Amino acid sequence: MTSRTIAKSNAGKKKAAPSPGGMQRLARRNGEFTDYLRAIVNSLEDELIVFDKDYRVVECNEAVLLRHGKSRAEVIGKRCYEVSYQFTKPCAPPYHECPVRAVWEEGKAARTTHTHTHYVNGGKRRRYLDIIASPVADHEGNIIAVTELTRDVTESRELESRITEAHENLSALNAIASVVSKSLDLDTVLRSALAKTLEIMRGNIGGILLMDEEEKRLCYRVHQGFSARYVGEMCLTLGEGIAGRVAQTGESIILEDISTDPRAVFPELLSKEGLRAFASIPISSKEKVLGVLDIARHDGRKFSDEDVQLLESIAAQVAVAIENARLHQEVQRKEEIRGELLREIFSIQEEERKRIARELHDETSQVLASLAANLEAASGLLPRGATEAEARLRKTQALSISMLDGIHKLIYELRPSLLDDLGLVTAIRWLLENNLEPAGTAVQFGIIGQERRLPPELETTLFRVVQEAVTNIVRHAHARKASVRLHFKRKTIGVDVKDNGTGFDVDEAIATRERPRGLGLIGMKERVELMNGTLDIRSRPGNGGTVVKMIIPFEGKRNDG
């Protein structure tokens, strides 16, 4: 028999039906596999549902029944939106996107997140569900069902939210720190801090009250969104009203509706302002309350615990800024007092110099001049041959004349009359000719701009600084060359003094108050700063030379002496 004959023979035969025992084994095997798959599906913490084209539940795992608190009989055959939301039609915007519909329409997996609000212990809580819907296809690729895998991502969402909130709070605190560090003026600091705080809290009503230590009263220093009447009325004693209690206890008070709180003062005024939610936060430093930060809202949106924590952190930064601003104010006040004292000292010095110079001119120099004249006359009365006596008289006369010249120089150094009579330029020219040139220093003196008289106090300051610079050249630098330039501008006067002599360490000389140079440099600096000017001294040890530059502003009005 050929193979073809065998094939025909076999083709004509029917397959033998499985025996009853084989059917039972197959059914048992299929049942075991189904139970195995069901056990796997039920072991999932995520919810798994299988839907048909009519959105009816064909299959689900235990997680679905557990979340909804239903039995299989109550879920199988029901539509998904009936089970999950008790809706009468499929989910649609703006409430929820339906991923199952998207799978049936587009033939591919879809993903979305549903948000549920439920009540826990009398409070609302959001629940976030991450949903992935996937098509189930037959052997020909036709979609016959849709699986929906739902995972509760509430904890991760809340963690993300807390991380984001913490980041935002840190950014907010950094923003506050940046704002309050840009100025040391108290009002500027408080205005900036309040504006930034309201921006962070997404509000527009608030204020900062500061404590008056003498009167023990709290008053608004800066505010925004409050009426002028409210701010004017709300000056509180310790313990009075909400802010007064906060200042007294050092503890925050948070209210859902300040207008109904019995501790609040001026309830009618509060009602007119329309204030509801209210946060009053102490601004404290070193266990001492400096003031109170008030933030208010017109709506009933209350302040959360996170809001309060952030406000308390902001208040702590504001407290540091207040302390810094007050310290700065105190330093400024002391500097002003010091400046006034220095100005008075310099004024007294100049008056004393004038007095001494006047006395030397009117008395001492006149006596010496008379002495020299009398000695001249006496030498003419000597008999002939009295050579020794004549020589002594001539020597004494020369000494008196030399002393008179020294007195005249001292008078000019104390207070040159040229400065008062002819002005700064003539006085400086005399100073250079009588100090640098005799010391062997070639000096160039130049004027840039239109020469004019300046206010007496300014001319005195400029002359004294140049005088000190010239003294340093003669005593310490021993320069061969020097130059002095006056720069007359419309609103400033500048002076440059340069030399090519022996230099020195400027910072060290000032820091150690090296005598006499260091004290002289400090005096120069103080004189210039009292006139709101700037002094720059540059020098290098060795043969680096020294440059002194100063610029002093003035009104630019002409002074004709």
> Are 189 and 133 found together in one domain?
no
One domain for residues 183 and 57: no
Decide if 95 is inside a domain: yes
Q: Which two tokens stand for residue 246?
A: 């906060």
Residue 487 sits in a domain whose CATH number is 3.30.565.10
**Residues, the chain, total?**
561
In-domain check, residue 337: no
CATH number, domain of 291, equals 3.30.450.40
Instruction: Give the C-alpha separation, 20 to 25, whole Å.
Output: 9
- pLDDT of the chain, 561 residues: tens digit per residue: 444 443 444 444 444 555 656 656 666 666 676 778 888 888 888 999 999 999 899 999 999 999 888 999 999 999 888 887 777 787 877 777 889 888 998 989 999 988 877 666 666 778 889 999 999 998 888 999 999 999 999 888 888 888 887 787 778 778 878 877 787 888 888 998 898 888 888 888 999 999 988 888 899 999 999 888 888 888 899 999 999 999 999 999 999 888 888 898 888 788 888 888 899 999 998 889 999 999 998 887 888 888 899 899 989 989 988 888 888 888 888 877 776 777 677 666 767 766 776 666 666 767 777 777 777 777 777 777 667 777 887 788 788 778 777 777 776 666 677 788 888 999 999 899 988 989 999 999 999 999 999 998 899 899 989 999 999 999 888 899 999 999 999 999 999 999 999 999 888 888 775 566 677 888 888 889 888 999 999 998 888 899 999 999 987 544 444
Residue 365's pLDDT is: 67
Q: Which of 280, 301, 330 is the last residue of a domain?
A: 330
Q: Which residue has the tokens 């509801």?
A: 276
Q: Is 116 helix (H, G, I), strand (E, B) or coil?
A: strand
Please give the residue range of the domain that contains residue 512: 417-553
Q: Comparing C-alpha atoms, which of 408, 392, 397, 403 is closest to residue 371? A: 397
Instruction: Give the sign of the dihedral formed by CA 216, CA 222, CA 226, CA 230.
Output: positive
Q: Is residue 146 part of a domain?
A: yes
302: helix, strand or coil: coil
Please say which residue of 330, 354, 386 terminates a domain.
Answer: 330
CATH of the domain at 133: 3.30.450.20
Are 77 and 205 in the same domain?
A: no
Whether 23 is covered by a domain: the verdict is: no
User: Which residue, of 134, 152, 170, is where some domain finishes?
Assistant: 152
489 C-beta neighbours (distance < 10 Å), count:
14
Q: Are residues 40 and 134 in the same domain?
A: yes
Q: Are residues 119 and 166 in the same domain?
A: no
User: Is 524 inside any structural domain?
Assistant: yes
State the pTM of this model: 0.55
Number of domains in the chain: 3
In whole angstroms, give the CA distance from residue 322 to residue 212: 13
Residues 278 and 180 in one domain: yes
- Write the pLDDT tens digit of every residue in 446-472: 999 999 999 988 998 999 899 999 999
Q: What is the pLDDT of residue 254?
A: 93
Looking at the structure, do residues 204 and 314 belong to the same domain, yes or no? yes
Q: Is residue 24 part of a domain?
A: no
The DSSP-derived string for 131-167 is EEEEEEE-TTS-EEEEEEEEEE-HHHHHHHHHHHHHH
Residue 396 exposed, middle or buried by CB count within 10 Å (0-12, 13-18, 19+): middle
Amino acid letter at 558?
R
Residues 222, 190: contact at Cβ < 8 Å?
A: yes
**Residue that has been written with the tokens 């040159």 in this structure:** 416
One domain for residues 281 and 180:
yes
| 30 domain-assigned | no
Is the domain of 139 the same as that of 176? Answer: no
129 and 218 part of one domain = no
> Are 106 and 80 members of one domain?
yes
> Which two tokens mark 280?
């009053």
Q: Are residues 199 and 263 in the same domain?
A: yes
Is 399 a member of any domain?
Answer: no
The whole-angstrom separation of Cα 232 and Cα 220 is: 8
Kindly report, residue by residue over 72-126, the tens digit of the pLDDT: 999 999 988 888 777 778 787 777 788 988 899 898 999 998 887 766 666 677 8
